[in-house]
Amino acid sequence: MNNILISVVGPTAIGKTKLGILLANHFKTEIISADSRQFFKEMSIGTAVPDKEELTQAKHHFIQHKSINETYTVGDFEREATQKLTDLFKTHNIVIMVGGSGLYVNAVTDGLNSFPTVSPSVREELNSELSQFGIAALQQKLKELDPAYYSKVDINNPQRVIRALEVTIGSGTPYSSFINQPKKKRDFKVLTIGLKAERTMIYDRINKRVDLMIDAGLLDEAKKVYPFKHLNALQTVGYKELFQYFDDEWTLEFAISEIKKNTRRFAKRQLTWFSRNEHTMWVNYDYEPSKLYDKIDNEIQKLIHG
């Protein structure tokens, strides 16, 4: 149990990629990405995939290893990532994981909750309701059937709402009752490092990043995947707003402003999610690397000998 997974978390645009690379070089190890938006080959600019220079500075895994046309679930990621960790720990005592997708991070560190098998017809019916009546009808249904989960889920994410309703309706038991189950045993210990900044600073960094993405060619990237806009992988900020521009529903200026707004909302949800872990070691985004390394070394010794 002397193997340590250092998990770098925090809101989007705060500098997780940079810190991950610094730590990988310091500890002479490799990086596992737990950013579900960066799994797909066709999406680079809008998902802030590490650039070529960053990818050469440290070995990364689970970056653009799937196509948007492939089904890839958090369960698939948990299985593949834990197997990769088993392999990496044969030659490294420390491995770095970087990502802002809370569910995917938790899948590796704690394991996924177990849910009952539900008839596919339930999901089909819910998808039909979504098409006919929109997300508001499903939100109301979830509020009635499982108010506990409704109060904390991203109710504007149709996949999350449908999944919760699917389990609740199919099993006759609220979705919330299946979560927060005992953690799975892992053969490594986890040190979670959270990057933080003032809310205004985070939002400013987000706004600037979106402008840089537009300058880098996000519009052309979105046009290439536009024919596949119905796919699950593309129901994400930065693409779905531009799709509405392509559909002549929004102006480009408004679509870009919506990307910024929705990314800020996403960052707020990330902060809420990661703040739940009381063991996270929070550091400022403008940390001094040498001091941070000393602090991390001390925390690792506590984990090993504590």
- Binding annotation: 10-17
* Pairing label, strands 281-284, 60-61: unpaired
- Binding annotation for ATP: 10-17
Paired tokens of 235:
């129901």
Question: Tokens 């400013």, residue?
Answer: 204
Residue 272 makes CB contacts below 8 A (sequence gap 6+) with none
- Binding annotation for substrate: 12-17
CA-based nearest residue to 281, from 19, 1, 28, 84: 19
